[in-house]
A and B are shown apart, each in its own frame.
Chain A
């Protein structure tokens, strides 16, 4: 009965519904995109009415929001934060810089394509994306969660070697603790 396919479907539906309507965001203020988060959260656009809320620590968060460019130095911290988060977890790439480098396309010190280092579920493009774009990105993520397609974390676990190889190319002195995630 418990392992029945149909009952599992019902459980998945209820869990995905709850996950969809309660998104706790860890807004990692890596780049200039962090300035768009306060207007999204406060009274003009009020993301809390959709269940989107700030989380204080990686342990409590569901979504890691990479706001803007990532320097090679920050990448290490972001990887550590991402691996501390609890499953199921999602990543939103925010702004053009996370897609192809944006205006930092020829910089020696930033990474260009975020998807090579962390599994991104939803991209929000624009430089800067306005709060409307951010909310539409959250709506897209909600849609993916409801369909059960936002499985970036599983992709990360399956292809860990490939991701680690890419990460270690950028970070020469890889001194990271072993996790029990």
Chain B
């Protein structure tokens, strides 16, 4: 059971699960947004149809080498984050390729995709892409601070930098980290609002304002790659939150319920909010989320 082939098989299967679940969640969020706006909305499988259509586009444009690499970087980053996040906590299925210190590695690899995309968007020469990249990186400076603070608080409190260790602590003690370190959870969830880029933090890909920002020159198969990478990354992030704060999940049904509950926080906050400006967004993240992050670190050091 410990052979590397078994683990690799788990990685492939968890990629397929992540793709399917992520796409379905995004379709459901479109449906929920429509219902909030008193519309009927597209069917929940609309994103699969869109992906099929984008994949079957017959022409593509060429702006340079980096433009082709941009979406590939995004995909690589998503898959790598997924590979080191254990999907289930029973220690047998889908434990994936995690190792000691993977929480620190994860902090780096989650930024890698957007940076690669920034290079790719720069090559297209579209001014909207350049503005979108600037906004995205500024916003990242905003939400990375409470996010890192929340994770550092967990590392200090439990003396470990391994996701599996944190999951085992929750299984052994019987309390989820959402109860034993609540301030870290609050900071992490507020940072997640920026990570998912739904309103009011959709300043990067604002369709009417920036013509969808970094992806404005990418159509067809490039857009398909970005869409699937976003789905996989969304699933990876939601699973990470469930692993860290909600005690992991012992089977897929439990995982789906917990991730869906977490996913509803940015979606439902988004459908009732208009869009922030860039400086408002950064000010938001350096306000209460950072305060809760500091509180979490103080809590971890002194209690």
Question: Which residues in A have some Cβ–Cβ distance to B below 8 Å?
Answer: 14-15, 18-19, 21-22, 42-43, 46, 48-49, 51, 53-54, 56-57, 59-62, 85-88, 180-181
Contact for B39 among A22, A49, A54, CB less than 8 A: A49
- Asked if B202 lies at the interface with its beta carbon under 8 angstroms from chain A, I say no
Known: A43-B39, A48-B34, A49-B34. 12 other contacts (CB 8 A): A42-B37, A42-B39, A48-B39, A49-B40, A51-B42, A51-B49, A56-B207, A59-B216, A59-B220, A60-B216, A60-B219, A86-B60
Find chain B residues with CB under 8 A from A61 CB.
219
Find chain A residues with CB under 8 A from B49 CB.
18, 21-22, 51
Please, what's the 1-or-0 string for B27-66, where 1 marks a CB less than 8 Å from any CB in chain A? 0001000100111111100100110110011111110000
The interface centre, meaning the residue of B37, B208, B218, B219 with most chain A CB atoms within 10 A of its CB, is B219
The interface centre, meaning the residue of B30, B34, B49, B218 with most chain A CB atoms within 10 A of its CB, is B49
Across chains A and B, which 10 residue pairs bring their CB atoms closest together, nearest first?
A59-B219, A56-B212, A18-B52, A22-B53, A87-B59, A56-B207, A46-B39, A15-B56, A18-B53, A43-B38
- Asked if B295 lies at the interface with its beta carbon under 8 angstroms from chain A, I say no
The CA-CA distance from A51 to B55 in the complex, in Å, is 16
Q: Is the CB of B216 within 8 A of A43?
A: no
Find chain A residues with CB under 8 A from B208 CB.
56
Tally A-B pairs: CB < 8 A: 86
Contact for B58 among A51, A54, A88, CB less than 8 A: A88
Q: Is the CB of B58 within 8 A of A46?
A: no
- Measured as residues with beta carbon below 8 angstroms from the partner, the interface class of chain B is 20 to 34
The CA-CA distance from A62 to B53 in the complex, in Å, is 10
Q: How far is the CB of B25 from chain A (nearest CB, A)?
A: 18
Find chain A residues with CB under 8 A from B46 CB.
21-22, 51
- Asked if B211 lies at the interface with its beta carbon under 8 angstroms from chain A, I say yes
For A54, the closest partner residue in chain B by CB is B207
Q: List 22 A-B contacts (CB under 8 A).
A: A18-B53, A18-B56, A21-B46, A21-B49, A22-B49, A46-B34, A46-B39, A46-B40, A49-B39, A49-B42, A51-B49, A56-B212, A57-B211, A57-B216, A59-B218, A60-B219, A86-B57, A86-B61, A87-B57, A87-B58, A87-B59, A88-B58
Find chain B residues with CB under 8 A from A51 CB.
42, 46, 49-50
Contact for A86 among B39, B215, B219, CB less than 8 A: B219
Contact for B50 among A22, A54, A85, A86, CB less than 8 A: A22
The interface centre, meaning the residue of A46, A51, A85, A86 with most chain B CB atoms within 10 A of its CB, is A86
Q: How far is the CB of B5 from chain A (nearest CB, A)?
A: 31
- Asked if B144 lies at the interface with its beta carbon under 8 angstroms from chain A, I say no
Contact for B211 among A49, A56, A87, A88, CB less than 8 A: A56
